[in-house]
Chain A
Amino acid sequence: MAGAVNRLSRFNMTALALGFAFLYLPIVILVIYSFNASRLVNVWGGWSLRWYVEFFNDRAMLEAAWMSLRVAAVSATLATLLGTLAAIGLARGERFAGRALFSGMLYSPLVMPEVISGLSLLLLFVALNAERGFWTVTVAHTTLTMCFVAVVVQSRLTSLDRSLEEAAMDLGCNPVKAFVMVTLPLILPAIVAGWMLAFTLSLDDVVIASFTTGPGSATLPIRIYSEVRLGVKPEINAICTLVIALITVLIVVASVASRLSSSQGESAAPL
């Protein structure tokens, strides 16, 4: 009996190990090789931090990284603002004609191939005669990530008991104050999670950015992509490791925030 359980669990363990290996071995190799002292990508030459030093001395790369961080921060903030407003409108607003169409259209970037979004945005910017650079990438990323924020915030809002706002009004809040005093604190974790999501999406986007960026304003992924085409430098490994670390931190924070958010609100209902 015990043997059967053991055999089964050994099988499960193997399957799990293989699955995780398939997913994470390439990343682990990349991280390890970022500490490689050798100039050749596929030859191990001992531990070293030289490629990190190299990156922090590489002006063009640093500029691209700074550009990416700025784009991600600004577009995530804009997307969070617009996405939250859209979510409030859809979850709390009065029913209006074409509401289903509106909510469907809001979510279309979720399923739209990025090439199409990128190309159509490029055509728009050309038609508007907008100079391509920081702002065109930022606007493009805002339209891409706003729908993700809207989904996260709207699901939180719909799970929130409507009578909480009514109770606040009953106890002397006007509708705006009721929203600020009661609803906003309860959906704040979802808004934070939405921002983090938008930030990471913007940070690792290549396709849309390559359509909408201009000369001299390459984002980090574009820069890495063009460097790799000329041959992989170990410096790229170091940059990628840093990006992975940043994104891991953001995703962990986002999931903790959304866990915090879902543990409140519904549980206030009677047992």
Chain B
Amino acid sequence: MAEQLAKAENRSTEKTAPQTAVDMPLLRIERVTKRFGNFSAVNQLSLEIRAGEFFALLGPSGCGKTTLLRMLAGFETPDEGRILLGGRDIAQVMPHERPVNMMFQNYALFPHLSVHDNIAFGLRRAGMARAEIAARVAEMVALVKLDGLERRKPDQLSGGQRQRVALARSLARRPQVLLLDEPLAALDKKLRESTQGELMELQRRLGLTFIIVTHDQEEAMTMASRIGVMDAGRLAQVATPRDLYEAPASRWVAEFVGDVNLFEGQVISSEQGRLKVTTREAGIVTVAEPRQPVTKAIVTIAIRPEKIKLSRRGLASGADALQAINRFEGEVAEINYLGGLTAYRIRLDNGTMVRSVMANTARLDADGYGSSDRVAAWFAPDDGVVLEQ
């Protein structure tokens, strides 16, 4: 135990050099495991979250993200590990004794209580004075713009209004950490987008720590300052949205977040910051050498579809000619017009399918590619990511 602690200490000092009180993480999850029978829903997971962060737990269903959130709320007790909130281990503390509140996926509003009484519920339990409760409820109602609906029962509200009541109720006790379990899943697309903005604005204004669980990567990318991608009870990667997309840590993350072209192959040379890899799918590919030296002989090269550009065959301009490397001949197999973007599938001459996405920057595109057109697909060495796992 002491060893583990020391290790954890070391790790955190490595990351944030000057270890001051301000830099101390608000929440520290240390090697937490939760089993249901033989199945480990969360497996030896460690994570640190700083005060004021908007953190998203992203993952496919069944990856353990909801179990982790429920352990933070206190509805599940970890089988191993510690959960430190402000330095205090809360792993065994009952839900009602934690300075943490949760907004439930289905909102869980009390149907027999009015909007006002729903919001006041937690305040009454805290033994707050009557006048103080009235003031706090009024403040919350104004915060989530529910004025005039205080006397309504939950079944007299629209889906969006219920979502706001749930938010107001979970914020009323001023929790140190607010947990949000798929808070926008029940809203339609337009409402979801405007609510995303409101949640971010609210979080910034109140300076609270939000931890949101979602399976919607766009939602996580839009709102969170950092994202933890979970797979099979472990964190596959913790990074900012940009790093997650542009520098995925593994093949799995690259495929889970957004679309990607993957070429697997053997490293043949490494010189002048360029790595040459011979791949089965696309022949010899040249990419920028990653900062950490490559240790494995077999690697995967990941290239996002929008970084694969198309040109007409034989019409290579001067700029294209410079990029004679990473250039593959093929024909357009499939075109999907998506409004702002067009997604192409190119069948290379060796049979490999490659995805390319181009922005529709002009309304009339006389020069656009048609089905079965011969094209060259190419990408810059800097746009390929080398993955070792």
- Whether, in the assembled complex, B107 has its beta carbon less than 8 Å from a beta carbon of chain A, the answer is yes
| A270 and B112 within 8 A (CB) | no
- Whether, in the assembled complex, B198 has its beta carbon less than 8 Å from a beta carbon of chain A, the answer is no
| A171 and B101 within 8 A (CB) | yes
| A163 and B96 within 8 A (CB) | no
Q: Given A171-B121, A172-B173, A185 and B107 touching (CB < 8 A)? A: no
Complex interface: stretch among B156-164, B229-237, B244-252, B344-352: B156-164
How many A-B pairs have beta carbons closer than 8 Å: the answer is: 86
| B155 and A270 within 8 A (CB) | no
Which of B74, B75, B162, B173 is the one whose CB lies under 8 Å from A171?
Answer: B173
Interface residue total, chain B, C-beta cutoff 8 A: 31
| B159 and A173 within 8 A (CB) | no
CA distance A238 to B310 in the complex (A): 96
Q: Given A168-B121, A271-B158, A173 and B111 touching (CB < 8 A)? A: no
Which of A167, A186, A267, A271 is the one whose CB lies under 8 Å from B108?
Answer: A167
The binding surface of chain A is classed by DSSP as: helix
| B110 and A164 within 8 A (CB) | yes
B92 → chain A, closest Cβ, in Å? 15
Of all chain A residues, the one with the shortest Cβ separation from B112 is A185
Interface residues on A, range: 20 to 34
Q: Given A264-B155, A265-B111, A169 and B96 touching (CB < 8 A)? A: yes
Of all chain B residues, the one with the shortest Cβ separation from A166 is B75
| A271 and B186 within 8 A (CB) | yes
20 extra interface residue pairs, beta carbon distance < 8 Å, beyond A163-B106, A172-B122 = A161-B108, A163-B104, A166-B108, A167-B102, A167-B104, A167-B169, A169-B94, A169-B95, A170-B73, A170-B95, A171-B122, A171-B169, A172-B173, A186-B111, A268-B107, A268-B108, A268-B109, A268-B155, A268-B162, A270-B162
A260 → chain B, closest Cβ, in Å? 10
- Whether, in the assembled complex, B154 has its beta carbon less than 8 Å from a beta carbon of chain A, the answer is yes
Question: B109 — which chain A residues lie within 8 A by C-beta?
Answer: 167, 268
Between A172, A173, A269, the greatest number of chain B beta carbons within 10 A of the residue's beta carbon is seen for A172
Which of B101, B106, B107, B159 is the one whose CB lies under 8 Å from A170?
Answer: B101
Residues 37-96 (chain B) with a chain A CB within 8 angstroms: 73-75, 94-96
- Whether, in the assembled complex, B134 has its beta carbon less than 8 Å from a beta carbon of chain A, the answer is no
Per-residue 0/1 for A171-194: is the Cβ within 8 Å of any B Cβ (1 yes, 0 no)?
A: 111100100011001100000000
Per-residue 0/1 for B94-120: is the Cβ within 8 Å of any A Cβ (1 yes, 0 no)?
A: 111000011011111111100000000
| B110 and A167 within 8 A (CB) | yes
Please name 13 pairs of A and B residues whose Cβ atoms are closer than 8 Å in the assembled complex, sorted by A: A164-B108, A167-B104, A167-B109, A168-B110, A170-B95, A171-B169, A173-B125, A263-B155, A265-B111, A268-B109, A268-B110, A268-B111, A270-B106
